[in-house]
Structure 1
Amino acid sequence: MSLPVYASPLERVWYYTRLVICALIFLFLIAPILIVIPLSFNAEPYFTFTEKMLAFDPTGYSLRWYDLLLTQPSVPTDVPRDAAWWSLVWQNSAWVNAAKNSVIIGFFSTIVATVLGTIAALGLSRPEMPNRRLIMAILISPMIVPIIITATGLFFFYSSPCALLNWTGLAQHCGRLTGSYLGVVLAHATLGIPFVIITVTATLIGFDQSLNRAAASLGAPPTTTFFKVTMPLILPGVISGALFAFVTSFDEVVVVLFVAAHDQQTIPRQMWNGIREQISPAILSVATILVVISIGMLATLEILRRRSERLRGVTPH
């Protein structure tokens, strides 16, 4: 909002003071990112700015840590980087394998969270739904409860998923979810469902229910009404929730430490292991890549938000 021409001197002072305060808050929030990105190009194995970097000497900057992401731990570096070399990278690079695990787990957990969260949001948006506030509080509790408590509960539950069936004698036939990809996917879906519920519910607030009634009056069955009328209008909210669920899964490390097996390394877990065992600026390179991915997702969310406003006839101010 621009300053009006009729503003008083006190209003002008407060206007510029507010701009300075907002700029300082923004700098405080983005300062860690601004520091991490240039440090990832450090030619030396340090987490500090060298004299050459401060002097903008080209020899002080290098892509060696990005290259290390492809070659660690057993990919040769002194051979031509042809298709065979990239095949070795795809199979043997620890960071590439961690990225593959993160994408696979994030993809399937996002599908589960999006489907279940959307169904829950549709039910919670109906006025005849009993105890909506209580159910809503229970469904979003994984977002409120400290993650260490959720991870501990999931670990003990996954260790004996059929404990409640002991009295039937069927418990010995049940498999363990701890250490399995299915267990990690379900755990990440549990953490992503609240974000889907919140975003889809917020989209449904401005949804005109008379459109569904009109479709029903014309003879459309509920499934056709949902996929032809409701879904296209709430799609921006569904995609926004799915992106939040994917980011939640992609960045999660505590649940992975409790639930996943030792060989199910994701990027956050690989970074955690790198910090514990051998501090390397390669971690900063991974962080920079994740920042770029996060910026792309935030830009996508903003585009979807504006599209949703246009569909609902809301003009942003």
Structure 2
Amino acid sequence: MKLPAHAEPLERIWRWIYLAICVCIFIFLIAPVLIIIPLSFNAEPYFSFTQKMLALDPDGYSLRWYKLLATFGMAQPDAPFGIDWLKDLWSNSTWFNAAKNSILIGLCSTVLATVLGTLAALGLVREEMPFRRTITAVLLAPMIIPIVIIATGLFFFYSNPCGIVGVDCGRLTSTFMGLVLAHTALGVPFVVITVKATLTGFDDSLARAAAGLGASPTQTFFRVVMPLILPGIVSGALFAFATSFDEVVTVLFVGGPQQVTIPRQMWGGLREQVSPAILAAATILILVSVAMLTTVELLRRRSERLRGIRP
């Protein structure tokens, strides 16, 4: 925001101080993330900048760690590129299998969290809904309670879900479905918040007009309500996917040996075999996060245009 022409010298000085404080805060927040990107191109197996990197020598930079992400665990990583190499990558690559698990678990949990969170938000915005504040607080609890406590509770609950009544229903721990349900519980609050915020500014007269024209409640929702709140739903889904994609504590407690995700693989790599390949994986995750944030911002601007709001 520009200062008016009649601004006093003290106001101009404070503006520059304010901008300097904002820049310092931005650097403090973003520097630990940005420093990972150049380190992932280090030609040497170090987690620090080498002399060649500081001198911008091309020999100090390499894509070897990105290649290692694809070939680590493969039976024949040096084989010529072709169908057999791709089959080996799909079946045996450690990091590629972790990426498959992360994406599959993230998509499944996102779908469940989006459906459940949207339904909950539709009910919580109604004035006649009893105990709205209490229900909202319960739904948002996974965002406030420390994740290690939630993971511990999920572990004991999923170990014997019907043990309360003395009936052994089997175990959900160390299963794909158990991990999906756990990530769904973590993603629902984000969907509830975004969809509820979108519904708060929704014009109810549009739904009443559709009902007056003979539309059923289902038709009203899918043809009138949903197109207008779709940016909020998609934003909530993206946050739920990001939560599932980045989660490691729940995976350690609930997941089994077959449910190794990218964060769990990175955690294991830091404990067992420290390799700059972890930095390469982190760089890819940063790019994915930037893409998600860009999508959320575009959806927010689209929602403002649909409502006639100009930034």
Question: What TM-score, normalized to structure 1?
Answer: 0.97
Partner of 1:160: 160
Q: What aligned pairs does 1:92-111 form with structure 2 within 5 A after superposition?
A: 92-111=92-111
CA distance in 1, matches of 2:164, 2:310: 53
Partner of 2:190: 195
Q: What aligned pairs does 1:252-263 form with structure 2 within 5 A after superposition?
A: 252-263=247-258
- 8 Å CA contact 2:37–2:280 kept in 1: the answer is yes
SS in structure 1 at match of 2:35: helix
- 8 Å CA contact 2:179–2:251 kept in 1: the answer is yes
* Residue segments in structure 1 that go unaligned for 5+ positions in a row: none
- 8 Å CA contact 2:77–2:85 kept in 1: the answer is no
- Per the TM alignment, residue 297 of structure 1 is displaced from its structure 2 partner at its CA by 0.6
Q: What aligned pairs does 1:66-145 form with structure 2 within 5 A after superposition?
A: 66-145=66-145
SS in structure 2 at match of 1:293: helix
Partner of 1:206: 201
* Residue segments in structure 2 that go unaligned for 5+ positions in a row: none
CA distance in 1, matches of 2:30, 2:212: 53
CA distance in 1, matches of 2:34, 2:216: 53
CA distance in 2, matches of 1:75, 1:17: 58
Residue-pair matches, total: 311
Q: CA RMSD in A?
A: 0.9
Partner of 1:286: 281
- Per the TM alignment, residue 74 of structure 1 is displaced from its structure 2 partner at its CA by 2.9
- 8 Å CA contact 2:109–2:241 kept in 1: the answer is yes
* Amino acid aligned to 1:84: D
Partner of 2:218: 223
* Amino acid aligned to 1:116: L
* Amino acid aligned to 1:12: R
- Per-residue CA deviation, residues 218-277 of structure 1 (Å, 9 max, x unaligned), is 111100000000000000000000000000000000000000112210000000000010
- 8 Å CA contact 2:45–2:275 kept in 1: the answer is yes
CA distance in 2, matches of 1:78, 1:144: 48
User: What percent identity do the matched residue pairs reach?
Assistant: 66
- Per-residue CA deviation, residues 17-50 of structure 1 (Å, 9 max, x unaligned), is 1111101111111101221000000000000000
- Per the TM alignment, residue 75 of structure 1 is displaced from its structure 2 partner at its CA by 4.0
SS in structure 1 at match of 2:252: helix
Following superposition, which runs of at least 4 residues in structure 1 exceed 6 angstroms of deviation? Answer: none
CA distance in 1, matches of 2:202, 2:182: 31
Matched, 1:6 2:6: yes
Q: What aligned pairs does 1:240-279 form with structure 2 within 5 A after superposition?
A: 240-279=235-274
CA distance in 1, matches of 2:127, 2:309: 24
Partner of 1:24: 24
- Per the TM alignment, residue 3 of structure 1 is displaced from its structure 2 partner at its CA by 2.1
CA distance in 2, matches of 1:299, 1:145: 28
CA distance in 2, matches of 1:162, 1:77: 46
SS in structure 2 at match of 1:37: helix
CA distance in 2, matches of 1:75, 1:302: 43
* Amino acid aligned to 1:33: V
- Per the TM alignment, residue 4 of structure 1 is displaced from its structure 2 partner at its CA by 1.9
Partner of 2:231: 236
CA distance in 2, matches of 1:154, 1:41: 39
* Amino acid aligned to 1:48: S
Partner of 1:57: 57
Counterpart of 2:298 (choices 303, 306, 310) is 303
CA distance in 2, matches of 1:77, 1:88: 8
- 8 Å CA contact 2:155–2:254 kept in 1: the answer is yes
CA distance in 2, matches of 1:47, 1:191: 32
- Per the TM alignment, residue 198 of structure 1 is displaced from its structure 2 partner at its CA by 0.2
CA distance in 2, matches of 1:304, 1:120: 21
- Per the TM alignment, residue 164 of structure 1 is displaced from its structure 2 partner at its CA by 2.5
Question: What TM-score, normalized to structure 2?
Answer: 0.98
- Per the TM alignment, residue 91 of structure 1 is displaced from its structure 2 partner at its CA by 1.0
- Per-residue CA deviation, residues 53-85 of structure 1 (Å, 9 max, x unaligned), is 000111110000000001112343332112221
Partner of 1:180: 175
